[in-house]
Chain A
Amino acid sequence: MAMTKRRERLDRGIRVRTEGFYALLSWREIGYLVAPRAALIIGLLILPLIMPNVYWQRVVCLMGLFALLALCFDFLAEFVGLICLGTALFVGVGGYLSAILNAWLGLPLLLTIPIATVGGAIFCTLLLLPCFPLRGIYFAIMTLIYPMMAARVIEALGILGSTNGISGLSGFPNIWVELYLIIGVGLVCLFGLRRLVGEDIGLVLRGVKDNDQAIKASGMNITHYKILATFIASGIGSFVGSYLAHLYQWAGLSLFALDFSILPISASIVGGLGTLAGPMLGAFMLTPLSELLRSLGGLRIAIYAIILVFFIFFRTEGLLNYAQRKYHQFQHWVEV
């Protein structure tokens, strides 16, 4: 019989040593823990500075924006089990809210963004409330329908500026505010969510995903936790929408476009589902790619879809899960 070998993966010694409190005893181990996080933070902070021109700085804004959406998709799908194919709904609601507040009621930008964030979160959660008894693909279908229907409703009723949208929003004072606002919020949300899913409530949320009967049996209300998670995620999404409306000084039907649902999903798949940081990195890779492909016009989304198909069927774990494995473990071949 031919000798067969299989791969065996073992945790690196340093990973085991850094698990507890004693990691603080050695610089090397502190470095092992801090290096990836610091690399991400510093990388994001200097990213706007190394961009050659204003165009690419704008692209960084878009990257941050899609990174936030990807974060919110990943949080909902992997930690709460709500597969939300319609992050565009959050974007649209947030964008339109801040457009109404700013362009029609004349509130300043400093007020509209927080109000749109919280108001959008409440509004989206209320919209999704009837869908919470649904799970898996049922929920996915409903969330896919929502943004498309929302765009149709606005168009059909002729409200909110109909197809022309609402223009005349006030913009940000300068490009640096735009850049560091989105990057700052991105980092806060990333580490905040990582902390959240590590706490007790994170365990309950995972329970809602994996075994909701058990959560029910423990006397906890599933719908309550779903509302909470959706509130957080749609708050992030509404912030993105509000930011986007102010960035372009315009809110229109394109806020409900499929792009805002598809790109975050692709970013999550490429970056690695369930890692929270992975989807962000995925967004930071895919958005510039889509800018480079802009000259191809309609083929852009097709190329996107092909990348997505490749990753989902052939590299299911995504980039960051792979990188994490390499960072924490080594592998060798053993005879079977």
Chain B
Amino acid sequence: MKVLIYGIINSVIFALMASGFALVYSISGIPNFAHGAMYVIAAYFTWLLLTNLGLPYLLAIILGVGIVGLIGALMYRFLLIRVRGMALSEIIGSFAIGLGILELVRFAGLKMLAYHLPPYIAGMVEIAGVPVDLHRIAIVGIALVVFVGLWLFTHYSKLGLSLRGIAQDERTAMLLGIDSDRAALVVMVLGSSVAGLAGVVLVPLGTIAVEAGYEVLIYALAICILGGLGNWVGALVGSFVIGFAQIITVNFIGSQWQIVVALLAIIIILILKPSGLFGRQKELEERV
């Protein structure tokens, strides 16, 4: 029971980490390697606003996520747009941006482990005999709201539908008057905000550390590869695979094995299905 509950929570956490990356990549084809940096700076800004300016918690969170969304927009508008479609430049460019942001944040004083955000709701409850703190439940709730919101947005709003149009067939979408660059801009803002939100929501579980930026990036990438890049459902399933694999290893084998198991899972799936669990024809073309 404990495995089941914590497995679900862990999986939702991974899904939250990965969804920003999956969103940006599936729609605009930009591999946003600055994803981890977005995660860290959202938490960092929120912490700054909360402690230095003394803003209310909710306002600080909204501002922090907003700033990160703005950074995503600026990043696309002034830098990434210049190398759109060149895989090597996109990867290295966005990775360099992320690296720069993370190291600047580290230089700005994020060295010690003293920074951490308070949980939203303190306290514990018991679900089926397993103690779970309320903040973890809040995370699951927020994640559900985010996923459902994104799903509704991409399936029922005009802007969201145009984004999906771009994702499915860029040329036809452009013929119908959908601006590819504008769509990419929108999705960069959305993706960065989701990454930022993940940071703000998850950091209260631990502390803000620069290393977390790299870790989140790695997990997001691993999950997206596992589920088949450019595929939303795949990312979700991938995060459940890794989430449960980790919790099971922690409980039955030992916590030092959890990363080995995650890596093994990825390699095995790559050997069996090179395009990931849910990779579609579009991905196959590109990959094999």
Which residues in A have some Cβ–Cβ distance to B below 8 Å? 77, 83, 85, 130-131, 133-138, 140-142, 144-145, 148-149, 152-153, 156-158, 258, 262, 265-266, 269, 273, 297-299, 301-302, 304-306, 308-309, 312-314, 316
Contacts and interface: CB of A to CB of B under 8 A. Distances in A.
A235 to B, nearest CB: 22
A144 B274 contact: no
A145 B221 contact: yes
A305 B260 CA distance: 30
B88 A149 contact: no
24 contacts: A130-B270, A130-B271, A131-B270, A133-B270, A133-B274, A134-B287, A136-B87, A141-B31, A142-B266, A153-B259, A153-B263, A158-B256, A258-B214, A273-B88, A297-B107, A298-B106, A301-B99, A302-B99, A305-B103, A306-B100, A308-B92, A308-B96, A308-B100, A312-B89
B95 interface: yes
B103 A313 contact: no
A134 B111 CA distance: 37
Contact of B274 (A85, A134, A148, A299): A134
B100 A298 contact: no
B72 to A, nearest CB: 15
A305 B221 CA distance: 21
A96 to B, nearest CB: 17
A262 B97 CA distance: 12
B99 A262 contact: yes
A111 to B, nearest CB: 31
B182 interface: no
B124 to A, nearest CB: 29
Contacts of A258: 214
Contacts of A301: 99, 103
A85 B107 contact: no
B93, B95, B106: most-surrounded residue (chain A CB, <10 A): B95
A148 B262 CA distance: 13
Given A145-B221, A299-B107, A312 B96 contact: yes
A302 B107 contact: yes
B286 interface: yes
Contacts of A137: 31, 87, 90-91, 229
A301 B98 CA distance: 11
Given A135-B287, A312-B93, A156 B257 contact: yes
Interface string B105-129: 0110001000000000000000000
B288 interface: yes
Contacts of B103: 298-299, 301-302, 305
Contact of A142 (B31, B225, B258): B225
B104 A302 contact: yes
B130 interface: no
Nearest to A308: B96
A215 B259 CA distance: 37
Nearest to B210: A298
A141 B107 contact: no
Nearest to B99: A305
A309 B79 contact: yes
A149 B219 CA distance: 11
Instruction: In the A-B complex, list the 5 residue pairs whose CB atoms are closest, starting with the nearest.
Output: A305-B100, A133-B274, A302-B103, A156-B256, A308-B96
A77 B86 CA distance: 12
Given A135-B287, A308-B92, A309-B100, A148 B267 contact: no
A76 to B, nearest CB: 11
Contact of A309 (B97, B258, B267): B97
A331 to B, nearest CB: 23
Nearest to B220: A141
Contacts of B224: 141
Given A262-B99, A305-B100, A312-B89, A130 B267 contact: yes
Given A133-B288, A148-B214, A298-B111, 17 more contacts: A83-B91, A133-B274, A136-B87, A142-B266, A149-B263, A152-B259, A153-B263, A156-B256, A156-B259, A297-B107, A298-B103, A302-B99, A305-B103, A309-B93, A309-B100, A312-B83, A313-B79
A313 B100 contact: no
Nearest to A151: B259
B222 interface: yes
B173 interface: no
Contacts of B286: 135-136
Nearest to B284: A133
A220 B99 CA distance: 39
A134 B88 CA distance: 14
B48 interface: no
Contact of A153 (B99, B221, B260): B260
Nearest to B221: A141
Contacts of A85: 91-92, 95
A249 B52 CA distance: 47
Nearest to A302: B103
Contacts of B107: 297-299, 302
A135, A144, A304, A312: most-surrounded residue (chain B CB, <10 A): A312
A301 B99 CA distance: 8
Nearest to B111: A298
